[in-house]
Amino acid sequence: MNINSFPAKKRAGVSLHITSLPGPFGIGELGENALRFVDKLAAMGIGVWQFLPTGPTAYGDSPYQPLSTFAGNENLIDIQNLIELGLIEASEASVLRELPHDFVDYGALIPAKRAVVSLAAGRFEERATADLKADYDRFVDTHDANWLNDYAIFRILKAQHNERPWPEWDRPYVYREEAALNEVAAANAARIEAIKVTQFLFFRQWTAMKAYANEHRIRLFGDMPIYIALDSSDAWANREMLRVDEAGRPEAVAGVPPDYFSEDGQLWGNPLYDWQKHADNGFSWWIDRVTATAELADIVRIDHFRGFESYWAVPADSPTARDGAWEPCVGDEFLTALKGSLGSLPIVAEDLGVITPEVEALRDGHNIPGMRVLQFDVADPEFRMEDISEHSVCYTGTHDNDTTLGWFRGSPGDIRSPEEIRRTQEMALAITGGTPETIATDMIRLAFSARSQLAVAPMQDYLGLGSEARINVPGTSKDNWRWRVTDAQLGPEVCDNVAKLVTASGRSL
């Protein structure tokens, strides 16, 4: 089986972000508990593990606004591995063991984990073995000129400016004056080195986890936002690829137009790409970006795929997305160049919402699978399961949805009317043939029955959990990305029940 492609045979998948893994150090990590999760997936017959973007997060802890599209999130580094490497003592990580095990308390976690990881990175030169140092040197040689050095200096400067966005920094740093940057590098050599060591430790652990998963015939399914954050090392170091001026002021920003759900549309605020400049240099930055993501994962979902056909551009001074306009993109040229470089396109298109025939033609013309979400489809009286294409990923719900049980019942804050919830309940029961008590399992069984080559359910649905286990509410910035599964929830009985579901569907490994 070719592990580096979209499944050629029907497979079952699970979505669970790395932060949501069980473990003793306050957050899911890339170590032993990740490997044990792979073991459980193999026992269940689940062949694909999907997770959210893995870049370093900032305010709000959202993985969709990372400080770098290339760097890894240091909060995911496995602490036990640092102990085994002799970089820290077990007692020095005791503060992390005191954190909650069933949710992530970011306010307490981030300063505590940053201190422990920084301690390990600062001792690397003194305590690391010769082989480990040689691996580190190779890592730096490979990535330093491309993104690593810029990222390290960006993090130093961001800290020096009280974590403010880079357009608000002192002028020499905003404009990347060479003398000023050289002075920062010389004055902070040890801290820059520690940031690079931290990234090495992240990628070393990730590589080991991916190898273990692939050895067990499990594909890793990553996620990549189409846009980057303005407050990122990528934007700071490569502003010429964006529609921003030298001071970082955007000409226009990203969003989506008004629709049924929002009369003002959605104003995301991300800077837009200067696609002509990307085309002029052969899309080299984009090719580097997708290549880097594809090294972490076997399949990559690209969020807001429709932006490759045309995108909603909103004047930067507009208070809402109402005043935007559709602008054409060079998606066909880009995807052709990407395939020419990678040899194939190991990507899935997030093509939800109002999708035009032109977007469908772009997707299908490059043989890219799309998405279907049953929570949306089942609520449509005209929906039929046979409408779902074989070349697609069928979900019960995504990280932006409530859990299936919460969706079915209607949770506090649900934007649907009581009548809409009642109609949805009736349609869900009719199409699944299930019951209110078993609706989560019934919807998984429905997804598994689809023609889609890949059918995915969030771990919360496999566990039959309600709205208390929801991981994200779009449009909000508090109390998201916190949910974690526990070892007790992943016990033998649950694994056996999931295995029976998967086997009965013909999607087992």
Residues paired with 223 in a beta bridge: 301
Kindly report the backbone phi and psi dihedral angles of residue 38, in degrees, each rounded to the nearest multiple of 5, phi listed first. -60, -45
- 402 as an active site residue: the answer is no
Tokens of 6: 């979209």
Look at residue 442 and give its three-state secondary structure: helix
Query: CA 243 to CA 270: how far, in whole Å?
Result: 10
- 303 as an active site residue: the answer is yes
Which residue in 303, 323, 360, 364 is the catalytic one? Answer: 303
Query: CA 325 to CA 66: how far, in whole Å?
Result: 26
Return the beta strands (E) in 20-60 as ranges.
48-50
- Under 8 Å CB-to-CB from 366, ≥6 apart: which residues? 332, 335, 336, 339, 345
Which residue in 298, 309, 350, 461 is the catalytic one? Answer: 350
Residues paired with 11 in a beta bridge: 454
Tokens of 487: 């070892």
Quick check: 7 and 453 in contact, CB under 8 A? Answer: yes
Question: What one-character-per-residue DSSP string does 70-88 give?
Answer: SS--GGGS-HHHHHHTTSS
Look at residues 308, 320, 302, 309 and name the one whose alpha carbon lies nearest to residue 255: 320
* Other Cβ atoms within 10 Å of 420 Cβ, number: 13
Q: If you compute the radius of gyration of the chain from its CA atoms, what whole number of angstroms results?
A: 23
Map 448-498 to HEC letters: HHCCCCEEEEEHHHHCCCCHHHCCCCCCCCCCCCCECCCCHHHCHHHHHHH
Look at residue 200 and give its three-state secondary structure: helix
Cα angle 310, 315, 321; round to 5: 70
Query: CA 297 to CA 50: how far, in whole Å?
Result: 9
Is residue 12 within a helix (H) or strand (E), and if so which, with residue range?
A: strand 11-15
- 400 as an active site residue: the answer is yes
Residues paired with 347 in a beta bridge: 300
**Distance in angstroms between the alpha carbons of the first and the last residue of the chain:** 11
Residues paired with 15 in a beta bridge: 50, 458
Is residue 299 within a helix (H) or strand (E), and if so which, with residue range?
A: strand 299-302
Which residue in 144, 360, 400, 414 is the catalytic one? Answer: 400
Quick check: 151 and 198 in contact, CB under 8 A? Answer: no
Tokens of 413: 């804050």
Q: Strand 370-373 vs strand 392-395: parallel, antiparallel, or unpaired?
A: parallel
- Under 8 Å CB-to-CB from 166, ≥6 apart: which residues? 154, 157, 158, 173, 174, 231, 235, 236, 248
Residue 474, CB-side half-sphere exposure with 13 Å CA sphere: 12
Task: Report, as residue numbers or ranges, the catalytic residues.
Answer: 303, 350, 400
